[in-house]
């Protein structure tokens, strides 16, 4: 089996007790696999008693119960009691693998690291553009069998993903918000065209369009934006902000920190002068925080790598592009809602990310990405365009302009 990872994947090392955003805190519901459960239930001594007291079953699955939002096996020094006494091999699959994630596509396994971990976020959002490029190696694992897997469609999805990733990499290199938003808009336009061909099973047309995209790296789609966008301008970009905030407000909340963030965003985006002067506010924020442009581009590349290839199974390439665009836009809205240019957004040391960005990324990733039900609801909303219509998303990404074309 082939293993595909971003180049930065091998850079990740758990910082253990030095981690400020410890994954053993925050009220996570930690699943325990059957082999680990059996081992824990038979483990002798005080540690075994503590583990058995913490295990509970819900809907036929076993979990480790977090007391007061902390894992009961978390020591005061931020280290794990199980690892300290029995070694890392005693951990369950979830604890051992976090923040790594994996997806299987036929004879290929794709693995990365998620942003709910502060060290993973630092690596993903601060690494040089070329570090996000995909590398291949061989695994001894057996291929993942799935009757729904179609190799020919997988190859098409992979070609589209490669073109779009190149567009996002160039946005990272350019370092500008404008280039990133143009790339996301062009991806949405191209994906909408390709989705129509896929829905009609017109793969000859699909392949021709992908070949044209690959020939110029998507630059043609970017140049065509002005003419294509004019009919999409139906209302002000600011009017979409509250709609997107309400879309995320409908999700299951993980706690008071997320509720407070949504309340703060409503207080900013639902009141004057933000509504009537939103383009100016956005332009001012982006001018004052130019260091966030590349970081947002890397965030978009992370989302694109993690989610786009899932279209192999649900055939929804447009929905995956909309997710990347919406999440990137939402993250910028979270950062912009602060509205204070007090230096907190400045990146001062190589290899680090701004504190405001780290806080927003961790909160959003934990609330949305790491809640399966929330991700399912978002995917459904995007597919059926209950809120984030493609044309509205394209225009929302043009918030830095007073008019288009």
CB 404 within 8 A of CB 230: yes
How confident is the model at residue 218, as a pLDDT?
82
Token pair of 319, please?
A: 């929905």
Write down the mean pLDDT value for the chain.
85
* DSSP element (H, E) containing 138: strand 134-138
SS3 helix, strand, coil % of the chain, rounded to 5?
A: 60, 10, 30
Question: What is residue 289's DSSP assignment?
Answer: T
How confident is the model at residue 161, as a pLDDT?
97
Q: How far is 277 from 25, CA to CA, in rounded Å?
A: 40
Please tell me the number of Cα atoms within 13 Å of 234 on its side-chain side: 8
How confident is the model at residue 318, as a pLDDT?
96
Residue 344 predicted with pLDDT over 60: no
How do residues 266-292 score in pLDDT, each as one tens digit?
Answer: 988 887 777 777 777 888 888 888 889
Which of helix, strand or coil describes residue 339?
Answer: coil
Token pair of 18, please?
A: 């030095």
User: What is the residue extent of each domain of the chain?
Assistant: 24-92, 169-396
Q: How far is 311 from 382, CA to CA, in rounded Å?
A: 13
Span between the terminal Cα atoms of the chain, in Å: 48
CB 117 within 8 A of CB 23: yes
Burial class (CB in 10 A: 0-12, 13-18, 19+), 91: middle
Residue 134 predicted with pLDDT over 80: yes
Q: Identify which has the larger pLDDT, 171 or 29.
A: 171
Give the CA dihedral 43, 46, 52, 53, nearest 10 degrees. 180
> Out of 66-80, 305-319, 334-348, which region has the weakest mean confidence (pLDDT)?
334-348
How do residues 6-55 score in pLDDT, each as one tens digit?
Answer: 999 999 988 877 887 777 877 677 888 899 989 999 999 999 898 888 88
Residue with tokens 């990324």: 361
Question: What is residue 139's DSSP assignment?
Answer: -
Q: How far is 206 from 306, CA to CA, in rounded Å?
A: 23
Burial class (CB in 10 A: 0-12, 13-18, 19+), 28: buried
- Pairing mode of beta strands 108-113, 2-6: parallel
How confident is the model at residue 326, as a pLDDT?
95
């Amino acid at each position: 089996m082939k293993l595909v990872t971003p180049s930065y994947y091998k850079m990740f090392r758990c910082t253990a007790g030095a981690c400020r955003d410890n994954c053993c805190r925050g009220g996570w519901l930690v699943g325990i696999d059957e082999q680990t459960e059996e081992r824990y239930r038979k483990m002798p001594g005080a540690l075994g008693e503590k583990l058995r007291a913490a295990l509970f079953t819900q809907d036929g699955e076993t979990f480790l119960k977090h007391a007061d939002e902390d894992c009961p096996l978390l020591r005061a020094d931020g280290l794990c009691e199980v690892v300290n006494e029995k070694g890392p091999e005693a951990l369950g699959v979830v604890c051992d693998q976090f923040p790594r994630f994996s997806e299987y596509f036929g004879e290929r396994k794709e693995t990365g690291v998620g942003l709910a971990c502060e060290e993973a976020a630092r690596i993903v959002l601060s690494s040089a553009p070329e570090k996000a490029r995909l590398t291949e190696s061989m695994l001894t694992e057996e291929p993942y069998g799935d009757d729904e897997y179609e190799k020919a469609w997988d190859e098409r999805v992979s070609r589209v993903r490669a073109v779009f990733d190149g567009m996002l990499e160039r946005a990272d290199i350019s370092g500008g918000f404008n280039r990133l938003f143009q790339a996301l808009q062009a991806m949405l336009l191209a994906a909408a065209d390709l989705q129509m061909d896929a829905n009609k099973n017109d793969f000859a047309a699909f392949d021709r369009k992908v070949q044209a995209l690959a020939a110029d790296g998507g630059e043609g789609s970017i140049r065509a934006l002005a003419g294509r966008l004019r009919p999409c301008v139906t209302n002000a970009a600011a009017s979409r902000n509250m709609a997107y905030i309400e879309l995320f407000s409908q999700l299951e909340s993980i706690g008071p920190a997320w509720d407070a963030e949504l309340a703060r965003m409503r207080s900013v985006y639902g009141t004057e002068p933000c509504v009537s002067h939103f383009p100016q506010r956005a332009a001012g924020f982006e001018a004052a925080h130019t260091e966030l442009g590349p970081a947002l581009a890397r965030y978009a590349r992370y989302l694109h790598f993690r989610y786009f290839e899932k279209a192999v199974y649900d055939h929804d390439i447009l929905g995956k592009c909309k997710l990347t665009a919406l999440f990137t836009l939402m993250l910028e809205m979270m950062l912009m809602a602060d509205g204070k240019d007090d230096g907190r957004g400045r990146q001062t040391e190589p290899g680090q990310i701004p504190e405001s960005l780290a806080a927003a990324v961790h909160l959003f990733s934990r609330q949305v990405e790491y809640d399966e039900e929330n991700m399912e609801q978002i995917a459904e909303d995007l597919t059926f365009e209950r809120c984030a219509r493609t044309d509205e998303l394209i225009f929302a990404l043009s918030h830095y302009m007073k008019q288009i074309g």
